[in-house]
Amino acid sequence: MRLLGLTVFVTVLICYVSLIETFRFRGKQRSPVIFIPGDGGNQLEASLNKTTAVHYLCEKVSNGFFNIWLNLELLVPIIIDCWIDNMKLIYDNETRETKNPDGVDIRVAGWGDPFVVEYLDPSRASPGSYFNNIGNMLVTKLGYVRNVSLKGAPYDFRKGPNENEEYFILLKALIEETYTNNNNSAVTLIAHSMGGPMSLLFLQRQTQLWKNKYISSLITLAGAWGGSVKALKVFAIGDDLGALLLRGKILKDQQITSPSLGWLLPSKLFWKNDEVLVETQLKNYTFADMREYLIDINVPNAWEFRKDNEKYQLDFRAPGVELHCLHGEKVQTVEKLLYKAGVAIDGSPELVPGDGDGTVNQRSLEGCTHWKGQQKQKIYHQPFPGVDHMKILSDAGVIDYVRKVLDFN
């Protein structure tokens, strides 16, 4: 009898704890969260079985998969040439698809695991921190549990939407699974940068009934709704990723092979045809001349990438869910490329600044405001002066905004 009584007591205790957890998580209508990263915002792993290499120091055969993005040890002089040769994509303009170099297999790491979007470097090195500040807040302040109520949805960010169809299928399944595993609580998507338009494309493909059931809200941080002039700049001279030890001119060889960069070129929905994007002593290139400029700087594939993915830019239907659109402003952001006298078009232009968050132009960041009046669900728009494109992920005001949405929604 004692044993039976103890069993009943333990069973009741477990049920009670479960009830408390249900009340704590559902009573406040606190929804589970899935992080959707932007360009470069999650870990990638590679396996090598190559017959040739660009340098004798480059490894040709690896012992299984290893972290290739963002592995800081691979971004040092000379070794970075090996990294570029492994990370670049090869484009076929007949199939309109890309592939990895021969002997290179690259896969997305840790599907569903928030760790691979919280830290780009598995060593948790500071330069590789990404969603971790928001993740830590959710865990320590609101009681979220990683891999239960907090998930991550990584993808191959090098590729455009046209090559990421499987991602949208997997994301839908992840949302439904997360909903079920959290007492049938609707999910909140938190997306950064390119993750904003990726989330929009996903939501546009779902029925309103599905969204009403499974989605609580979409929170976007620095959404690149209409592309950015910076993408044009990257095709021209590359980008150093904000790291003092890296040179954009070197990284360019890998960056210009990514179709997603073509998708992020300025959109005709936000730029006028006669706006000058590139100014030289001999000719000005307007928005309408963008193809000619990309050919003149010897990156013709950039225009092919744009052609493959422009339809996803132009489909700008409202997401059909409650939206919190957060972004920085009043940070100098490249608005035009200026080649001064004596600077050849294959040289380094001066970057003429305008308003934005340091990466995305203001008009693109504010793209979410175009949906006001186009959907029944509420749209909240909140700019944060002086907060740049990456610091928005760690800004105290932004994190507090996210906390309040999830704590009281």
308, 357, 388, 395: which is the annotated catalytic residue? Answer: 357
| Strand boundaries in 197-274, DSSP class E | 215-221
Give the position of tokens 């070794």.
Answer: 79
Check if the beta carbon of residue 122 is closer than 8 Å to that of residue 43: yes
Give, as one character, the DSSP assignment of residue 74: G
Catalytic residue among 31, 149, 185, 193: 193
Which amino acid appears at position 121 of this protein? Answer: D
274 as an active site residue: the answer is: no
Listed in order, strand segments (DSSP E) in 260-313 are 276-279, 284-286
Q: What is the DSSP string of 366-392?
A: GGGGGGTTT-SS-EEEEEEET--TTGG
The angle subtended at Cα 171 by Cα 375 and Cα 32, nearest 5°, is 75
State how far the Cα of 214 lies from the Cα of 176, in Å rounded to an integer: 7
Closest CA to 252 of 102, 98, 391, 80: 80
Q: What span, in angstroms and rounded, lies between the C-alpha atoms of 200 and 338?
A: 33
Residue pair 190/142 in contact by the 8 Å Cβ criterion: no
Angle between helices 132-142 and 396-408 (to 10 degrees): 40
Q: Supply angle C-alpha 368, 306, 254, rounded to 5.
A: 105
Is residue 154 within 8 A of residue 116, CB to CB? The reply is yes
DSSP code at position 109 = -
How far, rounded to the nearest angstrom, does the alpha carbon of residue 339 sit from its chain's CA centroid? Answer: 30
DSSP symbol at 345: T
Burial of 157 (C-beta count, 10 Å sphere; 0-12/13-18/19+) = buried
Establish whether 389 is a catalytic residue.
yes
What are the catalytic residues? 193, 357, 389
